[in-house]
């Protein structure tokens, strides 16, 4: 039977490169991370710790969950009869990468799923679509020349997130699945962002999903949460705490693993706060390792 190694978070540290000595130039340096030479750092330069390399490494087509950190509307200043344009028509987004991602106004759906060219009036309403602090699910569309991710939400399955709870884990724990939109057997929906950001929410009924008669396209940009009954809130809290324990013990996360873990929690009649107790957490991880042994 195999067991998962325990995971202990490592604090961010910076490493200073020592001054170069003549002997260093004569050494045979091995190839380092990213194909460069491990001894290529400038003397006195501060480089990133190994923890930095564990960040999410994006690929085109990845499903990610992200948070809006800045809205870049068109700013016009008249200086000597010159109009200056500053970061127009885009949102700056935290997607757990090594730099901020970008979501262009041209890369989002308009309310109601209307497909047309974006106008200046749409730019003035950018904050009605997304504002600072909003969470969204999107897809990596491309990369800019500086390596920044370009995201899009042009599918009605993407967009603003509501009715749930946000959880973060190391991106390496997210297993790549056929679909990262998961409906668990406990009646909770989970979106597993490949970037290590996870959204646990109230289940969307089949007749209210995209393409069905009950789907409300106008609510895509709504900030108002729906009423959530006590049993659903309990299930969301349980799943969220299960994910936290799986991350703490470095257990790979998938819909199958979450269903197994939830069944074990229900079998032992555990409340959400009980899951976070050390003894309970260890027993849960042990149960998961037995399932996969």
pLDDT of residue 34: 38
Lowest mean pLDDT among 29-43, 72-86, 224-238: 29-43
pLDDT of residue 109: 80
Q: Tell me: do 108 and 167 sit in the same domain.
A: no
pLDDT of residue 221: 79
Average pLDDT over residues 160-169: 94
pLDDT of residue 245: 97
Q: Last residue of some domain: 161, 190, 206?
A: 161
Q: What are the structure tokens assigned to 26, written together? A: 């004569």
- Residue with tokens 């108002």, as numbered in its chain: 224
pLDDT of residue 219: 67
Q: Tell me: do 187 and 138 sit in the same domain.
A: no
Q: Tell me: do 101 and 140 sit in the same domain.
A: yes
Q: Last residue of some domain: 161, 191, 215?
A: 161
Which residues does 273 contact at the CB level (< 8 Å), separation at least 6? 241
Lowest mean pLDDT among 181-185, 195-199, 216-220: 216-220
Centre a 10 Å sphere on the Cβ of residue 271 and count the other Cβ atoms it contains.
11
Looking at per-residue pLDDT, the higher value among 269 and 290 belongs to 269
Strands (E), the chain: 15-16, 46-47, 63-72, 76-79, 82-85, 90-94, 101-108, 135-143, 149-153, 159-160, 164-168, 181-183, 188-192, 197-202
Q: Tell me: do 166 and 287 sit in the same domain.
A: yes
For the cut 80, the answer to whether the pLDDT of residue 3 exceeds it is: no
Task: Assess if residue 50 is contained within a domain.
Answer: no
For the cut 50, the answer to whether the pLDDT of residue 81 exceeds it is: no
Looking at per-residue pLDDT, the higher value among 291 and 276 belongs to 276
Average pLDDT, the chain: 77
- Spatial CA neighbour of 256 closest among 193, 186, 184: 184
Q: Tell me: do 142 and 196 sit in the same domain.
A: no
Q: Tell me: do 66 and 181 sit in the same domain.
A: no
CA distances from 26 to 20, 32, 173, 277 (A): 11, 17, 41, 54
Average pLDDT over residues 243-252: 96
Q: Model confidence at 128, in pLDDT bands (50, 70, 90)?
A: confident
- Residue with tokens 């569309």, as numbered in its chain: 141
pLDDT of residue 217: 55
Which residues does 260 contact at the CB level (< 8 Å), separation at least 6? 287, 288, 291
Task: Assess if residue 9 is contained within a domain.
Answer: no
Q: Tell me: do 284 and 166 sit in the same domain.
A: yes
Task: Assess if residue 55 is contained within a domain.
Answer: no
Lowest mean pLDDT among 85-99, 153-167, 225-239: 85-99
Task: Assess if residue 10 is contained within a domain.
Answer: no
For the cut 50, the answer to whether the pLDDT of residue 51 exceeds it is: yes
pLDDT of residue 101: 94
Task: Assess if residue 157 is contained within a domain.
Answer: yes
DSSP three-state, residue 247:
helix
Q: Last residue of some domain: 161, 185, 212?
A: 161
pLDDT tens readout for residues 101-121: 999 988 888 776 666 677 777
Q: Tell me: do 181 and 154 sit in the same domain.
A: no
Which residues does 75 contact at the CB level (< 8 Å), separation at least 6? 84, 85, 86, 87, 88
pLDDT of residue 73: 55
Task: Assess if residue 4 is contained within a domain.
Answer: no
d(CA 216, CA 208): 7
Exposure string over 192-211, b if 16+ CB within 10 A, otherwise e: bbbbbbbbbbbbbeeeeeee
pLDDT of residue 249: 95
Looking at per-residue pLDDT, the higher value among 236 and 217 belongs to 236
Exposure string over 36-54, b if 16+ CB within 10 A, otherwise e: eeeeebeeeeeeeeeeeee
d(CA 152, CA 106): 9
% of the chain at pLDDT higher than 90: 49
Structural domain span for residue 72: 62-161
Domain count, the chain: 2
Task: Assess if residue 16 is contained within a domain.
Answer: no
pLDDT of residue 41: 44
Q: Tell me: do 192 and 114 sit in the same domain.
A: no
pLDDT of residue 237: 97
For the cut 50, the answer to whether the pLDDT of residue 158 exceeds it is: yes
For the cut 90, the answer to whether the pLDDT of residue 240 exceeds it is: yes
CATH number at residue 105: 2.40.50.140
Average pLDDT over residues 242-261: 96
pLDDT of residue 93: 95
Q: Tell me: do 87 and 167 sit in the same domain.
A: no
Q: Tell me: do 125 and 99 sit in the same domain.
A: yes
The alpha carbon dihedral of 207, 211, 216, 219 has a sign of positive
Task: Assess if residue 13 is contained within a domain.
Answer: no
Q: Model confidence at 122, in pLDDT bands (50, 70, 90)?
A: confident
Q: Tell me: do 202 and 234 sit in the same domain.
A: yes
């Amino acid at each position: 039977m195999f067991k998962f190694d325990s995971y202990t978070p490592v604090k961010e540290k910076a490493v200073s490169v020592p001054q170069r000595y003549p002997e260093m130039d004569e050494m045979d340096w091995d190839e380092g991370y990213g194909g460069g030479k491990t001894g290529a750092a400038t003397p006195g330069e501060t480089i990133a710790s190994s923890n930095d390399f564990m960040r999410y490494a994006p690929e085109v087509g990845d499903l990610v969950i992200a948070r809006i950190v800045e809205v870049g509307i068109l700013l016009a200043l008249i200086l000597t009869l010159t109009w200056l344009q500053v970061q127009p028509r885009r949102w700056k987004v935290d997607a757990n990468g090594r730099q901020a991602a970008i979501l262009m106004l041209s890369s989002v759906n308009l309310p109601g799923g209307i497909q047309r060219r974006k106008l200046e009036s749409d730019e003035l309403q950018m904050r009605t679509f997304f504002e600072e602090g909003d969470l969204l699910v999107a897809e990596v569309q491309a990369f800019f020349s500086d390596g920044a991710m370009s995201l899009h939400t042009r599918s009605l399955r993407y967009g603003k997130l509501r009715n749930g709870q946000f959880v973060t884990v190391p991106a390496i724990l997210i297993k790549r699945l056929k679909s990262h939109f998961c409906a668990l057997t406990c009646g909770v929906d989970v979106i597993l962002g490949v970037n290590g950001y996870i959204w646990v929410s109230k289940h969307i009924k089949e007749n209210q999903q995209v393409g069905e008669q009950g789907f409300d396209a106008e609510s895509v940009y709504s900030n108002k949460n729906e009423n959530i009954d006590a049993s659903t809130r309990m299930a969301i809290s349980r799943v969220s705490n299960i994910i936290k324990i799986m991350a703490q013990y470095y257990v790979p996360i998938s819909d199958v693993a979450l269903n197994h873990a939830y069944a074990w929690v229900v079998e032992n009649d555990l409340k959400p706060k009980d899951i976070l107790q050390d003894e309970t957490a260890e027993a849960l991880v042990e149960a998961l390792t037995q399932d996969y042994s």
